[in-house]
Structure 1
Amino acid sequence: MINKVSETKDIDQVYHLRYFLSDLSECLSHEHQQIIESGIENFVFSQQMKISKNEFNYLKENQGKLLSTKGFLFLNSLSTKLTTESIENKDLIDVVLQIECNLREMGNNHIFIDLTRSNEKEEVLFDLNTTFRLESIHQDKQTWSIKMMATNDGELIIKKYIEDTHRQIENVSISIIFGKLMCDMNKWNQLQKYFQYLLNDLSSNHEDLAWIEH
């Protein structure tokens, strides 16, 4: 359900789930800290899956670029994840997705937890909006191999956007910056709903009210 909400970007449901999502990410962060303390720096996770030709072509066109998940990403080595598109089997392509995670390069902002230690099968869960670099796509016999590297580039982009906004507008809160981002992306309907939720939740003397009403 959480991933469905994230993928549809329904601002109503996202806002109502915001505390739950925050708590879940905090739990993942706590578990991730145990991985950091283990001293292991490099992890490689793989999963066989079937994707549509459209999805495959999109990935081929974006080799070397950054990709971000819209929700939580769960990999299970013993399962085959089917594409969400309603298509016939002949349009499915067998691929092996391989994700490498180097803790030294990722830093502490990139959150994932390895569930393998408590199960016989290899499992890993990545936090919301995890960013990956699509390193390469090549064919091995009848199966295509897709290699991706977890990266903190997404965090750096977010940090730069916040810093640039603070240079333009002093003393503006993260809540208002998020609204500005939706404005920059021309998400007018979502922006209106988001600000309405803020108006309903904020106290009458809250400093953000002036920005919203303006």
Structure 2
Amino acid sequence: MTPLPTDKDEFIVECIKAYKNQPNILQDIHDFLEYYEPDTSLFWHSRQTFLYPLVNKALRLENIYLLYLCRFFMRDIRDELVRLQHTEPVKVYCGQVMSLNEIIQLKSLFYGDPTTTTTTDVRLRAIYIAFKSFLSTSLEKSVAEFYVAGQPVADECLVLFEIDATPNVCSQTNSFAKLHKSSAFENEEEVLFILNSIFRITDIHEEESKYIITLELCNNNDHTFKSVFESLKKDYSGEVAGYETEANLNSFATVLFNMKKYDLADKFFRRLYNELPPSHRDRARCCHNIGNVALARGQYKESLRWLNRALELFQQLWPFDHPGSGNTYHCIGSLYKSKRKYE
């Protein structure tokens, strides 16, 4: 989904609202507004000021509205990681705290059900994990171990990830880069992995007071993943017969609709409708989707108003045989069926 020139300003407004009573952070926000450029995204991410916790919290809690606002920043980080893609295999480390339940689930998936599998007949599973963040790692094992030193608290486990990563310069899916000069801390041996990088678990074992989980970086050229990636691309790009396939605000809102997040879906469909010029063909799809959201909410009168408007725009702006009109008629039929009015 391509960021807009106004995205940064809108994001800043929300940040100022969130930190209005914290003058030190407000100064960082104003500095960001004045000095930020796309090629400084890694520097700002490494500073761990207001941006780092804000973006990570949004990713962890799946705060969709905030993620939408800061997508320009995440896009810039991705582009920088692709540009600075490491060209040699690396072994890196990351220390994290995980819940005991998470560890139990991973071990069960990896080794199988301990109640039905003996220690002499262990069938290792192909288990893959993805981190809901830009994964920060270090070439120095001691740096990662610092974050998992000591004893864990109740129901938590200290975990040291040991990651083997071989770059695929032809793929942007799992890019990673050594930051050094792009970081606010040039002397740190940090290697940053792109958002939602996918790893295969190769081993899980306990060592002293922590768990060691070894991982291997995967990419979308792996045979196991090809069909999955193609499916995700189709699902998230809004690809329907006759529609463009680039992921945009319309397809983003469609994902929200499929997640039954109707308030957010309606908000983004209407936003796109208002941003598009009157003659833009996608306004027909916006009307259809706004009507579809209203239908899902049981707002039949509102739904019919938008669906009829969608039909008008499909007839005005699209070829007569475009499937959009048929989809809209289908929704109108579903509307009358829901009202128990068959015509």
TM-score by shorter chain over 0.5: yes
Say if 2:250 is the partner of 1:186. no
Counterpart Cα distance in 2 of 1:19 and 1:116? 23
Residue 149 of structure 1 and its aligned partner are, at CA, apart by: 1.7
Aligned residue identity for 1:44: K
Say if 2:127 is the partner of 1:58. no
Aligned to 1:92: 156
Counterpart Cα distance in 2 of 1:70 and 1:50? 14
Asked which structure has the greater RCO (Cα within 8 Å, sep 6+), the reply is 1
Residue 46 of structure 1 and its aligned partner are, at CA, apart by: 1.4
Q: Residue 11 of structure 1 contacts residue 193 of structure 1 at CA under 8 Å; is this kept in 2?
A: no
TM-score for the superposition, normalised by structure 1:
0.76
Aligned to 2:243: 171
For 1:149-182, what per-residue CA distance to the aligned partner results, in whole angstroms no more than 9, with x for missing partners?
Answer: 2212478634334347777422234223333333
Q: Which protein has the bigger strand share?
A: 1
Consecutive unaligned residues of structure 2, counting only runs of 5 or more, are 1-53, 111-125, 289-343
Residue 146 of structure 1 and its aligned partner are, at CA, apart by: 0.5
Report the more deviating stretch, 1-10 or 103-112.
103-112
- Relative to 1, partners in 2 of residues 1:135 and 1:93: Cα closer, same or farther, differing over 3 Å? same
Aligned to 2:203: 136
Aligned to 2:274: 200
Aligned to 1:85: none
Q: Residue 168 of structure 2 contacts residue 219 of structure 2 at CA under 8 Å; is this kept in 1?
A: no
Q: Residue 106 of structure 1 contacts residue 152 of structure 1 at CA under 8 Å; is this kept in 2?
A: no
Aligned residue identity for 1:170: G
SS at match of 1:44: strand
- Relative to 1, partners in 2 of residues 1:115 and 1:147: Cα closer, same or farther, differing over 3 Å? same
Q: Which has the larger radius of gyration?
A: 2
TM-score for the superposition, normalised by structure 2:
0.51
Q: Residue 91 of structure 2 contacts residue 164 of structure 2 at CA under 8 Å; is this kept in 1?
A: yes
- Relative to 1, partners in 2 of residues 1:25 and 1:170: Cα closer, same or farther, differing over 3 Å? same
For 1:76-132, what per-residue CA distance to the aligned partner results, in whole angstroms no more than 9, with x for missing partners?
Answer: 4414447xxxxx723332322111212249844321112368855432111122222
Aligned residue identity for 1:73: L
Identity of aligned residues (%): 23
For 1:37-90, what per-residue CA distance to the aligned partner results, in whole angstroms no more than 9, with x for missing partners?
Answer: xxx2x21111333322123223324433222222211124414447xxxxx723
Q: Residue 138 of structure 1 contacts residue 144 of structure 1 at CA under 8 Å; is this kept in 2?
A: yes
Kindly report the root-mean-square deviation, in angstroms, between the aligned alpha carbons of the 2 structures.
3.1
Counterpart Cα distance in 2 of 1:25 and 1:105? 14
Say if 2:231 is the partner of 1:157. no
Counterpart Cα distance in 2 of 1:149 and 1:69? 13
- Relative to 1, partners in 2 of residues 1:204 and 1:167: Cα closer, same or farther, differing over 3 Å? closer
Give the 4+ runs in structure 1 shifted more than 4 A: 79-82, 116-121, 153-156, 163-168
Say if 2:80 is the partner of 1:27. yes
- Relative to 1, partners in 2 of residues 1:66 and 1:180: Cα closer, same or farther, differing over 3 Å? farther
Give the number of aligned pairs.
Answer: 203
Of residues 106, 114, 131 in structure 2, which corresponds to 1:69?
131
Of residues 61, 81, 101 in structure 1, which corresponds to 2:165?
101
Q: Which protein has the bigger helix share?
A: 2
Report the more deviating stretch, 171-180 or 9-18.
171-180
